[in-house]
A and B are shown apart, each in its own frame.
Chain A
């Protein structure tokens, strides 16, 4: 059996992989949802846009659900504290996601312009709102979240929903929204042609520009804008039984840059974020759409990796009770559960990748208006 400290780090990486997987897979169909009302002008065109992700959005959404399940299993106290603390943000995400399954499946089953346009905006909400909120949540994690524990480890969140919508967090929301829109734009450009493709390209390039500006802006703000990071000052025993109250933590101005200072190679991550987005914009403009999609996916790895590398080993720092901050070392499941879930992930994740790839391969090629008209009663 793998030792406990190693498993704790592996699980930090695996949650990262699930998060990045979610952003790349569900992200591209959410991006398509965000672009839907703008990239498709007529009903036929909107059906083209919807059908580029029609066979896949459901499988992609499982990245979100499995991500939730994996955090539950590997970091139960994070699952408990984050989702109850961010209660209204989670409700907003869930309710936005409600529009997707029904939007996709029900929209084209009725011939009525109002019905269809209502679901189009529903799909827009389901695509645009979750990435925005996830970005805002990340922005708040970087600033610390007001929560604490009692002796029984009952968590109490002392902030409000509106407090989450502070300027830095909103900027992080812009980063996330732009990233997902860019990604959806490259995918949509890959699967369509003509006018729709042109609009998708414009969307992807615009979003990439916003992403680069907002991402660099957030970095500068984090460096010089007075946002303090967190640092553990007591001795950490990575093999210890998880107890989030056993350490001491202080805030310090440079804490989020400490990992970068110690390991300059990590700067490759923010560079990947910026360069990936720029390359994606260039490639999609010259209609190298598949390569653009890959570049955009790499940009996602860079952006999410940047935040993760800055915060390690913190997962959810507490602004009001810093010692109660949740870290990679003290928010995890038991040794047995972490080991078990590691093997389960190792076995199933490659299988998932293989059959998902096969599904995309089966459905490959451009979706066109002619295709929609030929499949009037069965296409979305």
Chain B
């Protein structure tokens, strides 16, 4: 039996390293397009301030990008180091988008980022703009492929289980690429990245404007950020995860949990604006409900019902019971590959194999599962409601607040009224962390909301881990925490140092706070 501690520590390590990685990714995704926009204006107008903007924001982009690369390497290999059984079981499908991501996207962004920083004097203006654009395309393509991989974890289309090879195998590549979950996720996630990039530039520019520094530089940056941010935040909210709502069972379970819908209500269901979910009694202690809204958002109709948690669990109980037959047949087939009777039984119950495997958390031989054990497994099939409900609401609330901020900022920039609204500039500075919090909570909803599965309905998280010792996990987790803490301190120190110094850090002689010339430090 796999120890629960090993599973918990493996999950903790993955969650910590992935969420840490995603502190840097959204800023990269968004800022890179702001650089493309700024440089395009430079190439079209020839005004040097736009080149300085590209270079200064590019410098901050580079500091952020370095940690994105550092922490991304961990993730590429962590599936193998810590989720070995997962890697074997679904590598045939999951590995392909990861490898394509490397071939199509990582090479592109990583090769051209070098020329972006070092090619200014060696390339023509148009060539350099092309380099910046290819870098932007590369970063966004990498998001596409990793989200195709992640979308498949939520809604595993285009694949079949093979008992001979004891794993899932790809049967339709294009179904995986055009998986509606993956496409919705891609749009939602990159848009969230664009918002993050826009917020960063907006906040820092607002700070310069408040201080009355480098006004021409800051005004233009503010203008670009507010327009790009407004478009992006609308895209996050309107296109968003919405299309993902109605697709697939994973989304049904997730939706029931994040809306705290314990019971199936008569259509159209009401929307719990806020509530206090009570896990033990499977109900909400109190709730502020808006009638009809949930039904409308969730089903686009007034007659379709949305299943509540209780109904979902009852369906899952049936699937677990059928899954016991599937697991038993599979284990016989592994010993006698060609037994036609067992093969038939297995094929008939194959769809519920994953549900049978859920029992492996409690018993080695699933036929020994008592009603109590089955109860536990059924209970596991829906993630805890409280974290889902509130993560989702805080994320949406922050999204709405950013919509308001970018709308006001865009209005201000149209009217050229920066000096009349210092409160808005202050709000923009204060709201700097908002997109990061929203992004991280979004991943909590997506990934915690998929539990107890790594591949929804196919492979339980519990079985996915590598057979490592708990000590190894403590050791590596401590190492990651140590390294990442130091790196974060260094990164934030450099970010704020150069953000404070502003465009003067380029040493062009055109801005405030130009650097004093340093002699090269003597070497120890």
Contacts and interface: CB of A to CB of B under 8 A. Distances in A.
Interface of A: 41-44, 46, 54-59, 61-62, 64-66, 68-70, 72-74, 76-77, 79-84, 87-88, 90-91, 94-95, 97-98, 100-102, 104-106, 109-114, 116-117, 151-157, 241-243, 333-334, 336-337, 340-341, 344-345, 348-349, 352, 355-356, 359, 362-363, 376-379
Interface string B379-417: 000000000000000000000000000000000000000
A356 B106 CA distance: 12
Contacts of A79: 79-80, 87, 91, 95
Given A43-B523, A84-B82, A355-B111, A65 B467 contact: no
B112 A359 contact: yes
B103 A76 contact: no
A73 B77 contact: no
B211 interface: no
Contacts of A73: 91-92, 95-96, 98-99
B119 A363 contact: yes
B78 to A, nearest CB: 9
Nearest to B104: A348
A344 B331 CA distance: 36
A156 B507 CA distance: 57
Given A80-B88, A241-B162, A111 B521 contact: yes
Contacts of B487: 98, 102
17 contacts: A41-B523, A55-B119, A58-B69, A59-B110, A68-B80, A80-B80, A84-B466, A84-B467, A112-B521, A113-B522, A153-B88, A242-B165, A344-B96, A345-B103, A352-B111, A363-B115, A376-B517
The 3 closest A-B pairs by CB, nearest first: A76-B91, A83-B80, A66-B102
Contact of A352 (B103, B468, B524): B103
Nearest to A40: B523
Interface string B507-524: 100000001011011111
Given A334-B92, A337-B170, A376-B518, 20 more contacts: A58-B69, A66-B106, A69-B100, A69-B103, A73-B98, A84-B80, A87-B466, A91-B81, A94-B74, A102-B70, A102-B491, A106-B494, A112-B521, A117-B523, A151-B331, A154-B84, A337-B93, A344-B100, A352-B111, A362-B119
B166 interface: yes
Contacts of B173: 336, 340
A64 B73 CA distance: 9
Interface of B: 55, 62-63, 65-67, 69-70, 72-74, 76-77, 79-82, 84-88, 90-96, 98-104, 106-108, 110-115, 117-120, 122-123, 162, 164-167, 169-171, 173, 331, 334-335, 466-468, 472, 475-476, 479, 483, 487, 490-491, 494, 498, 505-507, 515, 517-518, 520-524
A333 to B, nearest CB: 5
A151 B334 contact: yes
A377 B98 contact: no
Contact of B524 (A91, A113, A377, A379): A113
B76, B96, B170, B491 pick with most chain A CB within 10 angstroms: B96
A377 B85 contact: no
A12 to B, nearest CB: 16
A101 B165 CA distance: 39
A80 B507 CA distance: 49
**Residue picked from B72, B98, B171, most chain A C-beta under 10 Å:** B98
B486 to A, nearest CB: 10
A7 to B, nearest CB: 13
A59 B111 contact: yes
Contact of A42 (B95, B169, B520): B520
Nearest to B505: A377
What's the dominant secondary structure at chain A's contact region?
helix
B219 to A, nearest CB: 24
B309 to A, nearest CB: 31
Contacts of A377: 505-507, 515
Contacts of B113: 58
Contacts of B70: 97-98, 100-102
Contact of A80 (B91, B115, B331, B335): B91
B103 A72 contact: no
Nearest to A365: B122
Nearest to B74: A94
A77 B494 contact: no
A43 B14 CA distance: 39
A168 B65 CA distance: 39
Contacts of B115: 55, 359, 362-363
Nearest to A92: B479
A111 B522 CA distance: 10
A83 B84 CA distance: 8
Contact of B99 (A59, A66, A105, A242): A66
A363 B122 contact: yes
A70 B407 CA distance: 45
Contacts of A117: 523-524
A155 B98 contact: no
Q: Which of A82, A101, A344 has the most CB of B within 10 A?
A: A101
Nearest to B466: A84
A113 B518 CA distance: 12
Contact of A341 (B96, B110, B520): B96
Contacts of B472: 87-88
Nearest to B465: A84
B249 to A, nearest CB: 25
Contacts of B523: 41-43, 46, 113, 117
Nearest to A374: B121
A101 B170 contact: no
Contacts of A91: 81, 476, 479
B106 A76 contact: no
A46 B472 CA distance: 37
A325 to B, nearest CB: 15
Contacts of A61: 69, 73, 110
A224 B302 CA distance: 80
A43 B77 contact: no
A56 B113 CA distance: 9
Nearest to A147: B467
A62 B107 contact: yes
A70 B97 CA distance: 10
A341 B88 contact: no
Contacts of B170: 333-334, 336-337, 340
Contacts of B524: 113-114, 117
A105 B100 contact: no
Contacts of A349: 103
Contact of A359 (B90, B99, B114): B114
Nearest to B164: A241
